[in-house]
Chains A and B, each alone.
Chain A
Amino acid sequence: MKPRAIGKRRPYVRPMAGWWRKNPYFVEYMIHEGSAFFVAAYALVLLVGLLRLSQGEAAWNGWLFALHSPLSIAGHLLLLAAMLYHAWTWFNIMPITLPPIFVAGKRLSASAITAGGVAATVLASVILLLVVWRLTS
């Protein structure tokens, strides 16, 4: 129940709107949580493509044609930036989200975990590009 002011008494309620804008740490937090919208947007683009593919050649070509529009390419550049940011923050937070890892009796440092994650993304990206290149050339 909301507290109502009775008579002259007006209880102070601390305003919470935009609380995160006052601290750079929380601004960054909001941005990396917001990357979820871009991950979802790209998944929906792929889902439409998968549906169009199952509907036949004309449907597929319509989707493919839409991907060639300048608007789509600009949108995908934005998606790429958001996806890269998501990848970076995902591995940047990983030292906190993972349980402590010990290698040869010493705890693996936070920077080693982040660097390992980034290296895995670089490796996975190269492999993916090579596989697509092999499959299509």
Chain B
Amino acid sequence: MSANLKRSNAPIFWLLFGAGGMLSALLGPMLVFITGIAIPLGLILSPDAMSYAHMQAFAHHWLGAGFVWVIVSLFLWHAGHRIFHSLHDIGIHAGTTAKLICYGIPLVATIVAARAALVSLT
């Protein structure tokens, strides 16, 4: 066997897809309900639950900042991988351009989110 066999990078992207899919299945519905429906309408939770003071305190803790960062990036890695692998089914060639878009957006978003989370943390 040749010593310089190149290992596939597929498991990394598959792992990110799986982690994001699992996280969005477990927490996605309730997160959408809390941030997009319950708090704006004042249902169950207090309408000022997402006030600047509350959110600043939340993002000031590494757990809060880290949570939002993980949610944003894993959801996008999940979606990008899934969309990339469905392109062929709808007759779009899954080539380099498609790869750059489907994996580039999650990558850029991961970096942008990390930067914003770090700014809020300090």
Show the binding face of A for B, using Cβ within 8 Å. Answer: 16-17, 20, 30, 33-34, 36-37, 39-40, 42-47, 49-51, 53-54, 57, 60-61, 64, 67-68, 72-73, 75-77, 79-80, 83-84, 86-87, 90-91, 117, 120-121, 124-125, 128-129, 132-133, 135-137
Given the known inter-chain contacts A60-B52, A80-B37, please indicate yes or no for A43 contacting B79, CB distance below 8 A.
yes
Given the known inter-chain contacts A36-B82, A39-B75, please indicate yes or no for A87 contacting B34, CB distance below 8 A.
no
Show the binding face of B for A, using Cβ within 8 Å. Answer: 20-22, 24-37, 39-41, 44-46, 48-52, 54-56, 58-59, 68-69, 71-73, 75-76, 78-80, 82-83, 86, 89-91, 105, 109, 112-113, 115-117, 119-120
Assess whether A39 is in contact with B78, with CB atoms less than 8 Å apart. yes
Interface of B is mostly: helix
CA distance in complex: A3, B107 (Å): 39
Query: 5 tightest CB-CB pairs across the interface, nearest first?
Result: A76-B36, A40-B79, A43-B75, A136-B49, A125-B30
Given the known inter-chain contacts A51-B116, A57-B52, A90-B22, please indicate yes or no for A39 contacting B35, CB distance below 8 A.
no
Interface of A is mostly: helix
Given the known inter-chain contacts A80-B29, A128-B30, please indicate yes or no for A64 contacting B50, CB distance below 8 A.
yes
Query: Residue on A with the closest CB to B20?
Result: A39
Given the known inter-chain contacts A36-B82, A87-B25, A125-B29, please indicate yes or no for A53 contacting B55, CB distance below 8 A.
yes
Assess whether B79 is in contact with A37, with CB atoms less than 8 Å apart. yes
CA distance in complex: A67, B35 (Å): 8
CA distance in complex: A126, B31 (Å): 11
Query: Residue on A with the closest CB to B48?
Result: A136
